[in-house]
Copies of this chain bind each other. A is one copy, B any other.
Amino acid sequence: MAKVIFIVMDGLGDRPVREFGEKTPLEKANTPNFDRFAANGVCGLMYTLGRGRTPGSDIAHLAIFGYDPAKYYTGRGPIEVRGLGIPLLTGDVALRGNFGTVDRCGIIIDRRAGRVRDVSEFASALDGTIIDGVTFVVKPGTAHRAGVVMRGPGLSARISDADPHVGGVAVRPPEPLDASAEARHTAKALSEFLERAHSVLSGLPINQNREQQGLPPANYLLVRGAGYYSNVPSIYERCGLRAACIAGGGLYKGIGAYLGMDLIVVPGATALPDTDVLAKFRAAVLALETHDFVFVHVKAADSLGEDGNFQGKSDFIERVDEAASVLAGLDDVLILVTGDHSTPCVLRKHSSDPVPVLVHGPGVRVDAVTSFGERACALGGLGHFSGLELMPQVLNLLGTSHLEGA
């Protein structure tokens, strides 16, 4: 069976840019490798969530890996928490959070506690706390970030964020979002935990040291994005593919872990424009020795789009294309290149403009498209389809599609 390298350039799609003679950043970029894949492959256009629906990156990735977001997306918490390597059990409520700083009156004076670099000590002071029958698992994330899991019977994710998302205001206890006993129980236990965490954190010697050095103490845990976890089958369980994830950004590692992919750490993968794409693609080729399906995420096209930096986005796409030369000539490998959504520079945010898709490798009905771009792919042999329809087509090319009827 063929193997798969599945490349997602975040926010790849765009709109015509006047300064580029009405080309998009992708169309403007010189991409000889992707063009060659397109010329010897089959192309199409993908509406990740369907026409006119604009996805966040979390939801977009679930859809393109074949997981219906309506069923498998319950909030950002479980995804981020899985990316931190925290296992989840059905019934858990997971949240992501920051260690921040509040003053004596409970006003947030720094949402990131002076962008504290390492929160391991703070997290371990809270990890394992039990309140009202709920065990709180607290693990450090990158920099000021943390993952929190509430574990116990009768929990609900129908609670408000405790993080007000801005500084200069009072912390707010989480509130139940519906009248169920579960939501009330969860909000109450979490409120008590956050109060107790504040008191524990305030008393830590490390925080007293920070205050003596004039640094804001990490004395409050601001949590948000509660999501209820319920048995998400892995890509292996669903498709029989041993899957790996190569990503710089925490969210994308989270997506990989959430779907049961092995996380492959690549030094130099930063999720920034300076990321070492070549190292990521080399790692992907290597991973084919142990895996059937390798997801490679490249982030900066999205961030540059959000900055309105069309030249930077186009240049970055050229860098990705250049690195893709190491993917040429692979035997019996499907190479899929797409984006999770568009981030038009003119909008500086996500949009529902469709994204180009190319599939190169054994079995495809090579079409007449000879360049990789939004408008070239609109005329490709795959036609226009939705994100949830992508993985079934990949499985069909692999010859592992399940027969219905007889």
Contact = CB atoms under 8 A, between A and B. Distances in A.
B381 A383 contact: no
A357 to B, nearest CB: 12
The secondary structure that dominates the A interface is loop
Interface string A71-115: 001001000000000000000000000000000000000000000
Interface string A367-381: 110000011001101
A178 B56 CA distance: 42
10 contacts: A16-B363, A50-B392, A51-B393, A52-B401, A54-B404, A59-B404, A73-B405, A349-B399, A352-B396, A378-B383
A368 B365 CA distance: 20
Nearest to A54: B401
Nearest to A52: B392
Contacts of A363: 15-16, 344, 346
B54 A403 contact: yes
A350 to B, nearest CB: 6
Interface in A23-52: 24, 45, 49-52
Contacts of A344: 363
A22 interface: yes
Q: Which 10 A-B pairs have the closest CB atoms?
A: A52-B392, A59-B405, A56-B405, A383-B384, A51-B389, A54-B401, A56-B406, A352-B396, A52-B393, A58-B405
Given A69-B405, A401-B54, A378 B381 contact: yes
A130 interface: no
Number of copies: 2
Interface of A: 15-16, 22, 24, 45, 49-60, 69, 73, 76, 225, 344, 346-347, 349-353, 363-368, 374-375, 378-379, 381, 383-385, 389, 391-396, 399, 401-406
A396 B353 contact: yes
Contact of A52 (B56, B59, B389): B389
B365 A51 contact: no
A73 to B, nearest CB: 6
A365 B396 contact: no
Given A16-B364, A56-B406, A58-B406, 20 more contacts: A24-B365, A49-B404, A50-B389, A50-B392, A52-B395, A52-B396, A53-B401, A54-B396, A54-B404, A55-B404, A57-B406, A59-B405, A76-B406, A225-B406, A344-B363, A350-B403, A352-B401, A365-B374, A368-B375, A384-B384
Nearest to A401: B54
B351 A22 contact: no
Contacts of A353: 365, 396
